[in-house]
Structure 1
Amino acid sequence: MEQSVALWLSALLLFMKRLLLIPTLLFAAIPALAAAALDSTIRAVTVYNDRAIVTRSARAELHEGINELLIEGLPASLLDDSLQASGNGTATATILDISTREHFVAATPDPRRAALEEQLTSLREEKRSLSDRAALIKTQRDLIERLQNSAVSIASGVEKAERPKLAEVQETLAYGKAETEKLNAALQALDRELAVLEEQISAQQHQLDELPPVSPRRSVKTATLRVQASHAGDLDIELRYTTPHAGWRPSYDARVFTADNRVELGYYAQVRQSTGEDWENVALTLSTARPSLGGHAPKLSPWPLDLLAEESDSPPGIRPLARQAELLASPAPAAAQARMTFDLVSADYAEAQVDRSASVATFQVEAPATIPSDNSAKKISVTTLDLEAELAYRATPKRLPTAFLDASVRNTSDYPLLPGKMSVFVDHGFVASSRLEHTSPGDAFNLALGADEGIAITHKQTRRFTEQVGLMTRSTRNSYEYLITVKNNKAGPVHLIVSDQVPVSRNEKISVKVQAPAARDAKPDAEGLLEWALDLAPGETRELPLKFSIEYPQGLSVSGL
């Protein structure tokens, strides 16, 4: 009986061992889920005025089942909510999810900053080594000085037989002098090397300071994609994310050709970025959209009016303007700050094609661009516009007897001209720096092209007198006469607009009468300003008389005379 029980227990134990082995065999048949780190490169970047959308590309070899893919070394500043991924390839795959994780590193992840910091560390170590050598030389020099002093000193109580001989003293002094000279020369050489090192350290430190500041948190991010593949194959992945610390601003070079009445407007983009990763040979797109403004127009809050509280010391009435300003300054509702998703509109920069129907304009730069992550401005050519200009000279000889050239230019292109700095050139010569305001297609803008000494202008007073008029009611009349002379010394005809003024009466007792010019030539406006529009042939001289009188009751004092 006992033997039968023992055999039954042995059989049961063997069955349980085999049963426990089945899950192990089953799990061994399932492929292990191992994370694969992918090599990725930045392929394209779309830059807005305050951020950028970066597109990275990578290739993955997928096995059947669930694959975990890692894209490492992403900037810590990327916005996690903006992370998107797509892919295509020979594998039939589904992207299950995507997430990011921040990793802290011992050294700064910015390679440019890391290289400068390493160079600074090396230079400072070399400086310390030289400083140690200089300290050692100074110690040797002090020892020699003490040896010389001991050679010539005679201790009290020493017998004459023990005193050093003159020859020995001279030999010691000569040796000390030679060695001191050698040590001084070596010390001077070290001082020169230290001075050079100090300059190099200062220069490297300035370069480091020019880089954008970094967060004390030295970190990078890793994107993790989980992909389900129905069968093995490869998959080309595109990873897109938004990162701040990037933007672009327009700038312009306006080249005016006076002989052709033409303006060649160079449209440039000043692109900066300090995202933490360099953009090397990327397809660059510039967008005029402003995502920071949100997707909707802000809503107004109620502007209530009420009487002041009875216990207030202020008199009853409307709430003060300070309260109104407080209401106007109240924060907009959260809906006004909602994020907007933009459909990027492709535009062929080379042919200057812009979609007018889109809410934003995008410029696709033709050549690959490289933008380092050092916040330095990279000037990139967008296009060159050939625009017609209406040139005219303007002068206000009462203030300054000089003619200034102006150009009225109409934007006949499909490009919106955004506000930006502009350098102005006239016939290949630089004349001024100015600013171009926002100019939509079809609108006009003015260019101030500076003074032109080719037109001679003089302004002088030819006559002024005061007289008493009237029989029954005596009045005082002041009469003024001026003469403006202009001469075109240029080789071609010019259009010149000359401005001047007459006084304006602010009292019915004061009367201003204009005798010249005639109304058909120049008529003062409500503020007394008048303009002559002249077309001058080469070498032509024109005289412009200005005569007016001011009459007021005798005995009154008139301000402004």
Structure 2
Amino acid sequence: MTAEAAQRWGSTLDSVVVYEQGAVCRRLARGSVPPGGRVRVTGLPRSLDQGSLRARVLGTSGARVSEARVEVEAEPLGMSAPGELRREAERLRDEYAAARARKDHVLGRIKEMASLRPVPPAREREDPHRVAPVDAWLELADFVDERLAGLHASLVEVEETLLRVEHELDVASDRLARASTDVPSAPVDTTVSALLILDASSMRDATAEVELELDYGVPGAVWVPAYRLTYRQGEDRGRLLLRASVAQRTGEDWTGVSIALATADLRRGTDLPSLRSIRIGRRQAAAAPSGWREPPAGLADLFTGYDTSGPRPVTTAVPAVGGAGAAPPPPPAPPAYGGAPPAPGGPAPQPGAPAPVARSVRARTGAGGAFGGSSPAPLAPMSPAAPGAAAPPPAPSMAPVAGPPRPSGGDLDYAALVLAGPEEQAGRRGRLFPGSAFDPVAAEHRRRAEAVASLPLPHHAVRPRESAGSFDHRFDTAARADVPSDGAWHTVTVGEIPVGAHTEHLCIPAVEQTVYATLVLSNATDQSLLAGPVEVIVDDDFLLTAALPTLAPGGVRRVGLGPAEGVQVTRRTHVNESTSGLRNNITVLDHRVHVELANRLAVPVALEVRERVPVTSEPDVRIEERADWRPLDDAEPGRHAPGTRAWRLDLPAGGTAVLDGGYEIRIPAGKALVGGNRRS
């Protein structure tokens, strides 16, 4: 199958599902089925996971996909392919080097000119004193000053030009670093395509167009939720706009695609676990799965037409390492599963083994015998013996192992096996071997793509896998969006969710005499809200960005909005110590709490004032409460500290309120509380 035999179809990216790490892309292609049914769908990214490619025919045309595989093509790029950003960066880099060279030249001229000074000739001992040429000295000084002034002016201009070019180079380099990875960065462009074979035997109209759908997974995509809450004071409903911060470096720009966001782990294993039997009696060794099956009859005749089609292109041989004239050693032909029938008396295939397939594994030899250790060393290349050279010693013969081959666990990884093509040796082609090909270019693309997982998160952002808990959720965007492949965060609007919202004020004057505003959110929908940052907008005015906790369907949570300066609180306490009892054998500690509240806002507020009452486990200590507050530790066990009490009241606009409460602590006389009898 050659590239000319397959008809090329263009494809468009239609939708993307972004998981916690990675994404699944869906492409669409359309065209008429050519004779032979070979179609090459182009446009796939270089970083895709080749084992995740899936293809199917949409509609009821009758055609179906009988084979799909990924192929990589390479072609040299033209001069204009790297893009304007790269050419601009190279131009500015050359300009910066030229400006730096001009500055060094001017500095050298200044140093040379500054070194000019009059040097009188050497005077002999018997020579009379000479008259100093003052006019010449002054003319030389004027000349040096004039030239230095001009050179310093040129130096200022060169330094300004150097600073400007350096700034432009930094900006261009930053733009190039942030540019999309969809633009090739190497002189050779590698394109990835899906090679499909379509079976059109069941089509009613052979000339009709068919639509193909391709799904594949790519690394290098992450997302975190974000929200915008808009509500008006006095109302009990709000509008919560669900958004997402998406970053991707998959190698292709997502332009006009439908985006879905999921919290599931794309790399989670989906293999079905095996249930072992329970045996009662003597211990028996567990039988290892064989995986061996007889090869299909006539496997060698399958490639007869390929061998008689003519000579194949000659490929360039790899130079030998052993020395001049040495040919590269031929690869050893490993025994295949079913390559030789089992010896008489050998174990038969197990009934529960996989379905019969034609497959093979690499030969394994070791100290314990065949299929027991590392791979054997390759055979030495055969060459004509030199005159006078000793013949090599014969290789020791190995006794054949009775029974079918016993592959290791790695050889039974069916998903990692690769079918050897017709260009392989006669003992290998048409059989399955463990794939060991390593593509360094694809590995580099995957490494750069997976770097987005280490991006710093926005403020208050939480990974979706951490906030989703034991359940997985999916959110579909209402409209198509664009996300370039630059590895930076981009905001995508998902949709609007109606939530219940009202403001409550909370105060704990025993700790701090400040009233805090809280927003109580209730989720009455069947969709969970994950933890993340929420922008709060009250009466069309931006208030702050807070942290929204995970809100399950039917859940109610509070979001702090900060101090409410318009509501004032004052707390005073009084403690009176006395005795009671028949013989004054009980000490009574009477604690009084007085709280004054004032609402300076233009709207009424719902206020909750929390206090605390001591708790004890001593049988001879009693605590009696004297207030109309209600306990919070009984209403919501485990959420509040024991002894928490609360007043709830509504303060009208401009109104005031006074709250009085207290408690008595009765302890035996002669004893005192640790830390003092005063509890507030």
- Give 1:347's aligned residue: none
Higher helix share: 1
- When residues 429 and 66 of structure 1 are mapped into structure 2, their CA distance, relative to the original with a 3 A threshold, is closer
- When residues 176 and 417 of structure 1 are mapped into structure 2, their CA distance, relative to the original with a 3 A threshold, is same
Compute the TM-score of the two structures, normalised by the length of structure 2.
0.57
Deviations 1:446-479 (A, max 9, x none): 2333332333322102x32323434446333222
User: What is the deviation of 1:50?
Assistant: 1.8
Compute the TM-score of the two structures, normalised by the length of structure 1.
0.68
Aligned pairs for 1:34-113 within 5 A: 34-59=5-30, 63-65=34-36, 67=38, 69=40, 71=42, 74-87=44-57, 95-102=65-72
- Give 1:365's aligned residue: 478
- Give 1:281's aligned residue: 256
- Whether 1:267 aligns to 2:242 is yes
Deviations 1:220-239 (A, max 9, x none): 45224143576677655443
- Give 1:314's aligned residue: none
User: What is the deviation of 1:407?
Assistant: 3.5
User: What is the deviation of 1:92?
Assistant: 8.4
- Give 1:529's aligned residue: 644
- Is the CA contact 1:212–1:374 (under 8 Å) kept in the aligned structure 2? yes
- Give 2:167's aligned residue: 199
Instruction: For 1:281 and 1:253, locate their aligned partners in 2 and report how far apart those are by CA, in whole Å.
Output: 23
- Which of 542, 551, 554 is residue 666 of structure 2 equivalent to? 551
- Whether 1:510 aligns to 2:621 is yes
- Is the CA contact 1:392–1:494 (under 8 Å) kept in the aligned structure 2? yes
- When residues 300 and 32 of structure 1 are mapped into structure 2, their CA distance, relative to the original with a 3 A threshold, is closer
Q: Secondary structure at the match of 1:291?
A: coil
User: Which residue identity does 2:627 align to in structure 1?
Assistant: P
Q: How many aligned positions are there?
A: 462
- Give 2:547's aligned residue: 435
- Which of 99, 107, 131 is residue 100 of structure 2 equivalent to? 131
- Is the CA contact 2:234–2:502 (under 8 Å) kept in the aligned structure 1? no
Instruction: For 1:511 and 1:258, locate their aligned partners in 2 and report how far apart those are by CA, in whole Å.
Output: 45
- Is the CA contact 2:260–2:474 (under 8 Å) kept in the aligned structure 1? no
User: What is the deviation of 1:386?
Assistant: 3.1
Q: Mean alpha-carbon deviation: is it higher for 87-96 or for 390-399?
A: 87-96
Q: Mean alpha-carbon deviation: is it higher for 419-428 or for 285-294?
A: 285-294
- When residues 549 and 237 of structure 1 are mapped into structure 2, their CA distance, relative to the original with a 3 A threshold, is closer
User: Which residue identity does 2:476 align to in structure 1?
Assistant: F
- Give 1:477's aligned residue: 588
Instruction: For 2:603 and 2:140, locate their aligned partners in 1 and report how far apart those are by CA, in whole Å.
Output: 93
**Percent same amino acid among aligned pairs?**
25
Instruction: For 2:89 and 2:658, locate their aligned partners in 1 and report how far apart those are by CA, in whole Å.
Output: 72
Instruction: For 1:296 and 1:437, locate their aligned partners in 2 and report how far apart those are by CA, in whole Å.
Output: 34
- Give 1:495's aligned residue: 606
- Is the CA contact 1:67–1:229 (under 8 Å) kept in the aligned structure 2? no
User: Which residue identity does 1:407 align to in structure 2?
Assistant: L
Deviations 1:373-424 (A, max 9, x none): 1122221222223333344332222222333333333222343222222222
Instruction: For 2:655 and 2:112, locate their aligned partners in 1 and report how far apart those are by CA, in whole Å.
Output: 93
- Which of 184, 192, 198 is residue 222 of structure 1 equivalent to? 192
- When residues 500 and 176 of structure 1 are mapped into structure 2, their CA distance, relative to the original with a 3 A threshold, is closer
- Give 1:253's aligned residue: 228
- When residues 403 and 381 of structure 1 are mapped into structure 2, their CA distance, relative to the original with a 3 A threshold, is same
User: What is the deviation of 1:95?
Assistant: 4.1
- Is the CA contact 2:58–2:211 (under 8 Å) kept in the aligned structure 1? yes
User: What is the deviation of 1:78?
Assistant: 0.7
Higher strand share: 1
Q: Secondary structure at the match of 1:555?
A: coil
- Is the CA contact 2:181–2:486 (under 8 Å) kept in the aligned structure 1? no
Instruction: For 2:509 and 2:145, locate their aligned partners in 1 and report how far apart those are by CA, in whole Å.
Output: 82
User: What is the deviation of 1:246?
Assistant: 1.0
User: Which residue identity does 2:536 align to in structure 1?
Assistant: V
- Whether 1:244 aligns to 2:219 is yes
Q: Secondary structure at the match of 1:76?
A: coil
Unaligned runs of 5+ in 2: 125-132, 201-205, 277-409, 416-470, 635-641
Deviations 1:344-394 (A, max 9, x none): xxxxxxxxxxxxxx975441432x311111122221222223333344332
- Which of 120, 132, 152 is residue 184 of structure 1 equivalent to? 152
Q: Secondary structure at the match of 2:267?
A: helix
User: Which residue identity does 1:77 align to in structure 2?
Assistant: S
Q: Secondary structure at the match of 1:133?
A: helix
- When residues 472 and 118 of structure 1 are mapped into structure 2, their CA distance, relative to the original with a 3 A threshold, is same
Deviations 1:150-193 (A, max 9, x none): x9765899xxxxxxx99999888766665554443323211211
- When residues 41 and 155 of structure 1 are mapped into structure 2, their CA distance, relative to the original with a 3 A threshold, is farther
- When residues 400 and 237 of structure 1 are mapped into structure 2, their CA distance, relative to the original with a 3 A threshold, is same
Q: Mean alpha-carbon deviation: is it higher for 217-226 or for 472-481?
A: 217-226
